């Protein structure tokens, strides 16, 4: 067994447009799947961007919100997730500190039973 830290102390400062946040790669080069953790501070957003592949954003700590084009903000709490299909423009934000996992991959939708088994 090996214990590793995945908290903000090992995060890499990442900038998208004028927003800088911490991102920690958790899984990469696993077929077509990649997983990262993100750490947002109070009143921080990751600006609108297009999902280059399917994305699942899983809230781990803190409350946040997501928004797609031409819609209102949708609140998210720990234990909730938002799925963005490839090509969908979206923004992620929070009023408080937030920790989330983001899983990305080609045809990810087909691997998440909770999305298609309803």
Q: What is the mean pLDDT of each run of 10 residues along the chain (118 residues)?
A: 76 86 76 88 93 94 95 94 95 96 89 72
- CA 73 → CA 5, 17, 68, 90, distances in Å? 32, 20, 8, 10
pLDDT of residue 64: 97
pLDDT of residue 25: 79
**Residue 56 to residue 53: CA distance in whole angstroms:** 10
Match domain 11-107 to its CATH number in 3.20.20.70, 2.60.120.10, 3.40.50.300, 3.40.50.1220: 2.60.120.10
pLDDT of residue 117: 60
Using a pLDDT cut of 90, give the percent of the chain over it: 58
pLDDT of residue 32: 82
pTM for this prediction? 0.85
- pLDDT tens digits along 6-33: 777 888 888 888 888 888 877 766 678 8
- CA 85 → CA 57, 94, 96, distances in Å? 11, 21, 26
- CA 10 → CA 22, 24, 36, 39, 79, distances in Å? 9, 7, 12, 11, 23
């Amino acid at each position: 067994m090996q214990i590793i830290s995945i908290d903000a102390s090992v995060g890499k400062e990442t900038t998208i447009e004028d927003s800088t946040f911490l991102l920690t790669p958790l899984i990469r080069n696993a077929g077509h799947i990649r997983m990262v953790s993100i750490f947002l501070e109070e009143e921080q957003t990751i600006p609108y961007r297009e999902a280059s592949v399917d994305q699942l954003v899983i809230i781990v700590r803190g409350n946040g919100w997501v928004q797609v084009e031409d819609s209102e903000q949708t609140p998210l709490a720990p234990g909730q997730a938002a799925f963005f299909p490839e090509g969908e423009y979206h923004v992620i934000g929070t009023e408080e500190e937030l920790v989330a996992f983001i899983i990305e991959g080609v045809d990810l939708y087909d691997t998440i039973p909770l999305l298609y088994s309803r």
